[in-house]
Amino acid sequence: MRTELNPLFSPFSCKTLQVPNRFVMSPMTRQFSPGGIPGENVADYYARRAASDVGLIVTEGIGVDHPSAIGEGSMGEKDIPVLHGDAALQGWRNVVDRVHKGGGRIVPQLWHMGAVRKDASPPHPEARSLHPGNMDEDDIADVVAAFARSAANAKDVGFDGIALHGAHGYLLDSFMWEQMNNRDDDWGGDVARRTRFPVRVVEAVREAVGPDMPIIFRISQWKLQDYDAQLADAPEGLGVIVKALAEAGVDIFDVSTRVFSRPAFAGSDMGLAGWIRRLSGRPTMTVGGIGFDKELAASFTQQTSVLDNLDEVVSRFEAGEFDLVAIGRALLMDPQWVLKAKAGEAFKPFDMSAYARLE
């Protein structure tokens, strides 16, 4: 047993969410839900992780109830699940029940792809893709309502919280990103106005689910369109964004970085999760490069090996940089990774081809 990892096996709670340890399964696109409906294979996939000591599962991105929410994007996406319609909701009820029976907790990541979605792509090829430059007030209201409906559906299904995808250049993030948002009305301009749209979405979700259900918000500097992009080049600008989101109802920030330990700003070795925790006053979740010597994008093209960097994870956790530790590729390839990490057996060579099987 690796006793030095004991801090990561302490319980965590936020409102009605109580998890037995600090390990989270990070959301990862899977494309295993034909017609948007998660089947028994999806339930099996998440249940295996729940039964193997994963404290909290954040699902793959789930399309909100809006025609242009999902489609073919940068990875040729198809068969993305949704959270509306009787068949999809029944599928998710089964997933949630299976995860709960395994002792786990699960939240859905609500997703609108925005401009990353290619026009004329299914499941609604007639719907135009949305971005800050082509949305009028009716479009904004429709998307806000779509997030709220999907959040209400998630609560009815039995999920343990709500996660919102506000990162990586997708719709919510694109409004906050100065390079994408060139509006000159109340939804664009300075950093505070660029944050108004995601703030409005958070407020609507909070109204839909009530005061006690935790809301998690995924945030990043990098974008699919530009790995070197930044929401803010200094803590002051970042503070405007995360304080507004926290005041709107965000309880936990899921801080997506390519390498969790990489300094966020000059003059400090603190990672982005640490800065957001300090600036927002909210718990944070870190992710990026845990367990591997290459970050995600590089691992597609370069030889990648396992790396035991959990000592640094613990060190930064104990220093107060973050509260939760999200694991992506490792849990994708091995449902029992958390158990093996605790036993000191997690860092044996992986068959990287397993990454493609998404089991």
Q: Strands (DSSP E) along 204-336, which ranges?
A: 215-220, 252-256, 284-287, 324-327
Measure the CA–CA gap between 237 and 232, rounded to whole angstroms. Answer: 5
Give me the half-sphere count of Cα atoms (radius 13 Å) on the Cβ side of residue 9: 14
* Angle between helix 40-50 and helix 86-101 axes, rounded to 10 deg: 30
* Contact present, 346 and 340 (Cβ < 8 Å): yes
Q: In Å, how far from its chain's centre is CA 96?
A: 18
| Residues in Cβ contact with 109 at an 8 Å cutoff, skipping those fewer than 6 apart | 27, 58, 59, 60, 61, 62, 163, 164, 165, 218
Give me the half-sphere count of Cα atoms (radius 13 Å) on the Cβ side of residue 62: 28
Q: Is 170 an annotated catalytic residue?
A: yes
* Other beta carbons less than 10 A from residue 70's beta carbon: 27
Measure the CA–CA gap between 111 and 172, rounded to whole angstroms. Answer: 9
Specify which residues 24 forms β-bridges with. Answer: 56, 326
Q: Which two tokens stand for residue 228?
A: 């070197």
Pairing of strands 162-165, 252-256: unpaired
Measure the CA–CA gap between 216 and 195, rounded to whole angstroms. Answer: 16
Catalytic, out of 45, 170, 227, 355:
170
Is the bond preceding 108 in cis, omega lying within 30 degrees of 0?
Answer: no
| DSSP code for 6 | G
Q: Strands (DSSP E) along the chain, which ranges?
A: 12-14, 17-19, 23-25, 56-63, 105-111, 162-165, 215-220, 252-256, 284-287, 324-327
Annotated catalytic sites, by residue? Answer: 170
